[in-house]
Amino acid sequence: MFSAFPYVLLFVCTMFFGTLLSVTSSHWLMAWVGLEVNLMGFLPLLVYHGTLLESESGVKYFIVQSLGSIFLLGGSLWAFDIALGLKISESPKFAVLVIMAGLLIKLGAAPIGHFWVPSVLVGLSWATGMLLVTLQKVAPIFLMSVVVSSITSGFLVTAAMLCALIGGLGGMNQTQIRALLAYSSVNHLSWILLSVLVSEKALIVYLSIYILINILTFLAVWNSNIKGSLSLGNPGAMTKEDSFFLLISLLSLAGLPPLLGFLPKVVVISFTVSTNVWFSLFPLILGSLFSLFYYLSLSYSCFIGRSAGGAPNISESFSKVSCLCALFNMVGGAALFVL
């Protein structure tokens, strides 16, 4: 991918511009345009290498995002027909439900959008997969936080609880690490949706740390096996050091204390217990326990089931990146707990 760096940089900048346009828009039309610009920048990256799996994932992603855009644009036009305006803050409640459904499809949230995330992520490279579970979530989540209201709270709580259970149970039947990370993304989306309801501060904290930890995890996996595909049965030829760095990243993503990933869950729980949606914490915590099972299974496989073929040919810069990922998760988490 980096051999054509100027073109890749152009597409990435297009993605960032589309996200920024959606986040800063006060009208649904411009928010929709921003999402489409973001999609135009991301699709070439999805099919960059031209493999069959990438092409299949690209087509699936395009179809799903188009379906989400239909709901979003339809809800916006309904809002214009009722309120004679496209301002996000003045959207009628029932039109917001249609818009919310479109945003959930774009995010890959249960019960109407979770199905596409594993099948798309399995066919992508580590770099584009990292963008899929991080940057591509920012604009829809921001728009969702702007229009959330009492009439949509029950809808979001239901979606959050289903995301937690589907993300936890679905990953237990998977062996490929890309599929595990996809279901992990669905599981984390449950906490993000709940934070949208309870507190803007909780949303910012959770989303920021979620994006950071996912970047570190994908870099650690990319370092461990740049060209191959890791699985529980065949974790690849990793050294003990690479296995340890990957272990720390995975456990942080699982939210184990005192690593960095534990903090955002504590923040969301502390804001939720004093609200009327406190009952939703039980399925979310249960889903996190399910996801912890496959995180630990993968971690065990990396250590015990390592191939005896020796270490792969990995550049020194990538090894340093893995080391920094592990150190940041450990030291960052401990420092935040002290503060």
Domain residues for 82? 1-107
Q: pLDDT tens for residues 107-145?
A: 999 888 888 999 999 999 888 999 999 999 999 999 998
In this structure, are 177 and 68 located in the same domain? no
Examine residue 240 and state whether it is found in any structural domain, yes or no.
Answer: yes
Beta partners for residue 87, in sequence order = 27
In this structure, are 94 and 159 located in the same domain? no
**Residue 186 pLDDT level (bands cut at 50, 70, 90):** very high
Q: How many structural domains does the chain have?
A: 2
In this structure, are 161 and 278 located in the same domain? yes
Examine residue 112 and state whether it is found in any structural domain, yes or no.
Answer: no
Answer whether residue 4 shows pLDDT above 80. Answer: no
Answer whether residue 40 shows pLDDT above 80. Answer: yes
With a CB cutoff of 8 Å and minimum separation 6, the contacts of 211 are 134, 135, 137, 138
Answer whether residue 236 shows pLDDT above 90. Answer: no
Q: What is the per-residue pLDDT for 221?
A: 78
Q: What's the whole-model pTM score?
A: 0.86
For residues 249 and 257, the answer to whether their CB atoms sit within 8 Å is no
Pick 43 or 29 by higher pLDDT: 43
Examine residue 21 and state whether it is found in any structural domain, yes or no.
Answer: yes
Answer whether residue 307 shows pLDDT above 50. Answer: no
Examine residue 136 and state whether it is found in any structural domain, yes or no.
Answer: no
Q: What is the per-residue pLDDT for 84?
A: 61
In this structure, are 102 and 193 located in the same domain? no
In this structure, are 175 and 311 located in the same domain? yes
Examine residue 247 and state whether it is found in any structural domain, yes or no.
Answer: yes
- Average predicted confidence (pLDDT) for the chain: 81
**Residue 310 pLDDT level (bands cut at 50, 70, 90):** very low
Please report, as a single letter, which amino acid is at residue 25.
S
Answer whether residue 318 shows pLDDT above 50. Answer: no
Q: What is the per-residue pLDDT for 107?
A: 93
Examine residue 273 and state whether it is found in any structural domain, yes or no.
Answer: yes
Residues recorded for the chain: 339
Examine residue 140 and state whether it is found in any structural domain, yes or no.
Answer: no
Of 52, 86, 107, which marks where a domain is finished? 107
- In sequence order, which ranges of 88-239 are alpha helices (DSSP H)? 93-107, 116-121, 126-133, 135-147, 150-171, 177-198, 200-224
In this structure, are 268 and 187 located in the same domain? yes
In this structure, are 317 and 212 located in the same domain? yes
Answer whether residue 182 shows pLDDT above 70. Answer: yes
Q: What is the per-residue pLDDT for 315?
A: 44
In this structure, are 191 and 277 located in the same domain? yes
Secondary structure percentages of the chain, helix, strand, coil, to 5: 80, 0, 20
Examine residue 49 and state whether it is found in any structural domain, yes or no.
Answer: yes
**Any idea which of 117-126, 194-203, 229-238 has the lowest mean pLDDT?**
229-238
